[in-house]
Amino acid sequence: MAGNGELWDSYDKNFMKTGSATLTRGEAIPAGQFHLVGNVLVRHADGTYLLMLRDSMKKHGGMWEASAGGSALAGETAIQCAMRELEEESGIVCRDLKDLGVTVSEKNRTIYAEYLCVFSGPKDSIRLQKGETIAYKWVSRDELLAMSLSELLSGRAQERIRRGLA
């Protein structure tokens, strides 16, 4: 196995598993197959959003992320992945996620399952994951929407906020 040996289920672009096929992190994803990523946008009860700064050693290091997330492991559902990644990357335990929808990236051969967590805990209770994130901040809706894609890793969260979904 290549990479770290992490195994993922294989999906088609309609979010259906492709039988018992598995993918391995670090190996090319075959045409017509996709891997699943669970992402969670965190909105505090006061209306601000959590941003986390990617570790400089990671791909896209030094960029802000408006979500916690990562690849679903083999056998893991999108929501299980999202809850696990949120807890690993921020320390937030949230079992009541709102489904924000799915985005398919043909280019990345990835299905992004997006969720919202409304967090009412102390804002200074965020616990960063070593090797993943190095800082965090809470920003207003307007501040988040004003960020450029040169500082924010993805515009998917901004789009969901603009559409009133988050």
CB 35 within 8 A of CB 110: yes
In this predicted model, what pLDDT tens digit does every residue of 6-61 receive, in sequence order? Answer: 999 999 989 989 877 889 998 999 999 999 999 999 999 999 999 999 998 887 88
CATH number, domain 7-159: 3.90.79.10
In the chain, which ranges are continuous DSSP H helix?
Answer: 78-90, 141-146, 156-162
When pLDDT is cut at 50, 70 and 90, the band that residue 73 belongs to is: very high
Q: How far is CA 4 from CA 1, 8, 31, 80, 95, in A?
A: 8, 12, 22, 21, 28
